[in-house]
Amino acid sequence: MEHIDQSSGEDELIRLLLKRQSELNSLLEVTRAINKNTSTPVLIQMLEVILKNYLQVGKLRFLVEKNGSFVCVAKYGGETENTAALVRSCQRLNKIKSPMILTSHRDPILKEYHYFIPFHHKNKPLAYALIGDFNTSGDMVSNDLNFIQTLINVIVVALENKKLFRERLQTERFQREMELAVEVQNMLIPLRLHKDKAVEIGAKYLPHQDIGGDYFDFIRLNDHQFLWCIADVSGKGISAALLMANFQASLRAWAGVETDLGTVVERLNKIVIKNTKGERFITLFVAKYDEETRTLDYINAGHNPPILWSDGAVSSLGLGTTMLGVFEDLPFVNQGEVVIEPGSLIFNYTDGLMDYELKNDTHWKDEQLQEFVMANGHLTPDRFNQTIMDHLNLVIKGKAIDDITLLTLRIF
């Protein structure tokens, strides 16, 4: 009898050692797969094979955290539950930190399983496993649960590392994109502003973030004509910067060969439509001045109307058309024409200036801006731009919520 008991004990020990060896082999295979950066679906498949074939787990539900919620990434055995209901049931146990027996649980979904196994990191739940149809012996249940917990924990860590790696790549990609966008936009902003006997220009560009969507330009067409523009493209980032770079090149090309301002704007609209398929739009003010006739021709394509100051009086330059990139063919193009008196000042700006946020969710109005221009239109362009920013920061005391571009011209 004693011999039989001793033989039985040895058999049990051998079985336990073989089982532990199989567990180590399984963990080794999973670890190797992780080190080879095996895809998530393959890792999940390996988990299911080990649980189903090695541990005889008849039913599994494995849920992992994704973007603040949980998704079921592995399931087999039993009747399929509603995923949302399954997640809600598991989240009711989000404070449980160790394996829990479920067979007598009150929840109708949970009680269909034998064990609930949670996985946390710094009190944050990362994954839940539900184990059912698990008919291991009483002596081995603790060992098997520990192994299941270890195995799934290795996979959870691997999935978390994959997620962190993707996030890091995305962050690096975004950072590089922003750096490229800044480089592109810096090339768009004129390094030197023009000043001669006919005109003096002052400009100030204040991006709300690293990269904005504003653009301005000044082009000498010939000895007695010059053109300028100010524009704002919807959206941010490298795509907006590249669109504006293409827009600048197109404007300079057409302005050099086409004398009619309306035709230039219609050509630009076609280019924006072709490049963006209607997904972005550009507001634009473009003007051409003839020093001999003192005539200013302009078109305002949905942009904030520049303000003309002349002898203490102000007027808005709002005549034009719709934003570029909205319609295949512009529904109308109205060209404005103004005779400019010597010493006149023209103040161009983007909508970030008027989006300056004040207390109690108020904004300063167009009328206030016109009053400011009327009172300060005698200043030099650079001094005018600095004075209006000082006024916003010291008097209005608001907060910028968008890019601000100021382009001010004194025409002699």
pLDDT value at residue 337: 96
Q: How far is CA 239 from CA 86, 180, 383, in A?
A: 42, 10, 34
DSSP per residue, 162-180: HHHHHHHHHHHHHHHHHHH
Tokens found for residue 152:
């799934």
Going 76 to 79 to 82 to 85, the CA torsion angle's sign is: negative
CA 78 to chain CA mean position, Å: 42
Q: What is the pLDDT of residues 49-95, one digit of tens each?
A: 989 888 889 999 999 998 888 999 999 998 889 999 999 999 999 88
Distance CA(333)–CA(366), nearest Å, equals: 24
pLDDT value at residue 248: 87
Residue whose pair of structure tokens reads 């067409």 in the numeric block: 221
**Global model pTM greater than 0.85:** no
pLDDT value at residue 177: 66
pLDDT value at residue 359: 64
Residues of the chain with pLDDT under 50: none
Q: Which of 359, 344, 367 is nearest to 395 (CA)?
A: 359
The full set of domains in the chain, from first to last, is: 2-167 (3.30.450.40), 189-411 (3.60.40.10)
Buried b (16+ CB within 10 A) or exposed e, 21-51: eebeebeeebeebbeeeeeeeebbebbbebb
- In DSSP terms, which residues pair with 310 in a beta bridge? 313
Q: Which of 225, 271, 266 is nearest to 248 (CA)?
A: 271
Tokens found for residue 132:
């059912």
Distance CA(314)–CA(370), nearest Å, equals: 7
pLDDT value at residue 363: 63
- In DSSP terms, which residues pair with 119 in a beta bridge? 127
CA 354 to chain CA mean position, Å: 24
Distance CA(183)–CA(208), nearest Å, equals: 16
pLDDT value at residue 139: 63
pLDDT value at residue 18: 67
Contact 156, 127 (CB under 8 A): yes
Contact 346, 305 (CB under 8 A): no
pLDDT value at residue 208: 64
